Amino acid sequence: MEDFSRRRMLFASGALGAFGVLGAASSARARSLWTWSPNGSVAGRGAGLDPEWVWDEEADPVLAAVIERGDVPKANEALRKWTRNHQPLPSGLPADLRDFMEEARRLPSWADEKKLAAAAQFTKKKGIYTGALYGLGSGLMSTAIPREARAVYYSKGGADMKDRIAKTAQLGYDVGDLDAYQPQGGMVVTAVKTRLVHAAVRHLLPQSPGWSRTNGGQTVPISQADIMVTWHSLSTFVMRKLKDWKVPVSAAESDGFLHVWQVTAHMLGVQDEYIPASWDEAHAQSRQVLDPVLASTPEGVELTDVLLDIVAELDAGLTRPLINAFSRYTLGDRTGDLIGLDREPFWQPLIGAAWPLLVAFREGLIPRPLVPEAAWTVEEAIRRFVLLFLSEGRGIRLEIPDTNRPA
C-alpha cells in the first residue's frame, strides 16, 4: 500500500508540473493533521492513507478521456434520459463511461433497506428542520470552506449560481426522498451524475488561472478529504444542530439518517475506510477535518452575497434580514463573520428566543399560547425558504462540464 500511495503522489506531481512541489508542501501539512483511524469506518479497517492524497481512481481517468475526446455533449445528451434508479443506462453513452457507470450505480453490499426507509420517514417528519439546515446552515457554511468556495467559484457552475444552487438542492431533495434508493427513486442517478461532475472538475480546474492562483498549493481539487468535509457540513452538522435545538430524534431515526448519508458518501466515490461507522466517529472526524478549515475568502464572501440575493427573490428582499439572522443563529457568529453576514439587531434576539419555542410547539412539548406572535413570521419565512429549496431541486439537469468559469 505504501507503493500505491507513492504512485498517487508521483502521478499528481508529474501530471501537474509546477503544482506538484506546492502540493507536496501543502499535503505534508494536511497529512500531519490526519489521525482518524479506519477502524472507526464502515469498512472497519483500511490502509489509513491520508485522504488529502486520494481522489477517484475509477472515475477520474474516464472523465478526463471523455473531455479530451470531445464526447461531453454526446454524453450529456444521453444522460438526460436517465432519471430513475431502475432505468437501464441510455444508449449513446461512450463505452468507457457506460462501463464505469454500470459499476458506480451499484449500492454497497452493506446498504440496509430498513435503515434507508427509516431515514426517509425521518425526513418526512422533520423536513422543515433539515431543509432549513441544509439551505441556511450547510449551504452557507460551504462558502466558509475555502476549497469548496474556490472550486465552486472558478468552475463552470460558478458563473450561474442560481443554477448551481438548484443542482445542490437536487442532492438535498433526493437524499431525503421517500424512494431515494428504491428502484423508482432518483438518488442513485443524482449521486452517480454528481460523481461524474466531480471527476470532470478535477480534470478541468487545474487549467483555471484563477483557481491556480488561489488553490493554496492543492494539486487536484475535490480530494476524498474535501468530499468528507462537505459530507460533515451536511450530515454531521445537521444532526448536531437538531440536538442543539432539542428536536426529538429516536435511535432508529438517527441511525437511518446516518446510514443514508453513509450510502451517499459511497455512491459519490468515497472509499469505505473514510466513511464513519457511527455518530461518535462522525463527530470525531468532523472536529478534525471540518472545524479547523473554516475561513474567509473573497470568493466565499461573494458567493454568500449571491446566495442571499437568490433567497431575496422570495419577496423582493423583505425577508433577507430575517434570513441573515436565522443563518447567524444556525451557524454562529464566528462563521457568520467569516462569510460576511450582516448583523441584525432586531431579528437576532427575536429568533434566539422564538425558535426554541417554535420547535417545542411543533414537537408537542408546549401549547400554542406560549409561542409569541412574532415567531410565526419567522416560521413562515423559513417554511417558504424550505419550499423554494425543495422545489428548486426538481427536474434539474446534472451535466458534465467541459470548461471552467469564463474569465
Per-residue pLDDT, 162? 66
DSSP state, residue 365: S
pLDDT > 80? residue 31: no
Q: Could you tell me which residue, 169 or 282, shows the higher pLDDT?
A: 282
- pLDDT at 321 > cutoff 60: yes
By the 8 A CB rule, do 307 and 169 touch? no
Q: Which residue has the higher pLDDT, 213 or 107?
A: 107
Q: How confident is the model at residue 12 (pLDDT cuts 50, 70, 90)?
A: very low
59 CB burial (10 A radius; 0-12, 13-18, 19+): buried
Task: Assess whether pLDDT exceeds 50 at residue 2.
Answer: no
Q: What percent of the chain has pLDDT over 90?
A: 63
Provide the pLDDT confidence category of residue 108 given band limits of 50, 70 and 90: very high
The pLDDT, as a whole number, for residue 164 is 64
Q: Does the global pTM surpass 0.95?
A: no
Digit-coded pLDDT (tens) for 356-380: 999 999 999 889 888 888 888 888 8
The whole-chain average pLDDT of the chain stands at: 86
State the pLDDT at residue 273.
98
In this prediction, residues 19-37 reach a mean pLDDT of: 48
The DSSP code sequence of 37-87 is -GGGBSSS------GGG---TTHHHHHHHHHHHT-HHHHHHHHTT--STTS
| Grid coordinates belonging to 330 | 444556525
DSSP-assigned beta bridge partners for residue 272: none
Of 125, 359, 123, 370, nearest to 244 by C-alpha is: 359
- Give residue 391's pLDDT: 57
The CA distance from 316 to 66, in Å, is 42
C-alpha span between 88 and 369 (Å, rounded): 54
The number of angstroms, rounded, from the C-alpha of 158 to the middle of its chain's C-alpha atoms is 15
Q: Has residue 406 got a pLDDT over 50?
A: yes
Question: Most confidently modeled of 120-134, 254-268, 364-378?
Answer: 254-268
**Burial annotation 188-211 (CB, 10 A radius, 16+ → b, else e):** bbbbbbbbbbbbbbbbbbbebebb
Could you read off the pLDDT of 69-97 as tens digits, one per residue? 999 999 999 999 999 999 999 999 999 99
Closest CA to 378 of 361, 399, 395: 361
